[in-house]
Amino acid sequence: QKEVEQNSGPLSVPEGAIASLNCTYSDRGSQSFFWYRQYSGKSPELIMFIYSNGDKEDGRFTAQLNKASQYVSLLIRDSQPSDSATYLCAGRGYTGGFKTIFGAGTRLFVKA
């Protein structure tokens, strides 16, 4: 069973702090990884994708991928209350190509 694991949280951080969201995956053949943000009652919206080992930065967001450790993370700098949401990690497996597997998500609260 191909799985993507996330701590369900909630993760609580003060406004202005760095929020660190973590994800592990079991399919060693996974090549593409995605972070989505989902506000309560809304659909997931894409934040970032990452294919290569290392860091990828986009504004206040940095995605980190370590394929050897099968680990993906998302850092949110200068966290804002509007960042409070559930963050979904997803990986696209090698086998079959089209099975994007989602984690259950981590709830993040940013306290003002």
User: CB-based burial of residue 2 (10 Å sphere; 0-12 exposed, 13-18 middle, 19+ buried)?
Assistant: middle
Task: State residue 83 phi and psi, 5-degree precision.
Answer: -80, -10
Residues from 4 through 63 that contact another protein (CB under 8 A): 4, 8, 31-32, 34, 36, 42-46, 49, 51
Q: For residues 19 and 36, which CB has a smaller minimum distance to another protein in the complex?
A: 36
Q: How far is the CB of 1 from another protein (least distance, A)?
A: 12
Q: For residues 6 and 79, which CB has a smaller minimum distance to another protein in the complex?
A: 6
Q: Do residues 99 and 12 make contact, with C-beta atoms less than 8 angstroms apart?
A: no
Q: Which stretch binds another protein (CB under 8 A): 19-27, 53-61, 69-77, 97-105?
A: 97-105
Tokens of 76: 């949110």
Closest by alpha carbon to 89, among 18, 37, 20? 37
Give residues in contact with another protein (CB under 8 A): 4, 8, 31-32, 34, 36, 42-46, 49, 51, 88, 90, 92, 94, 96-105
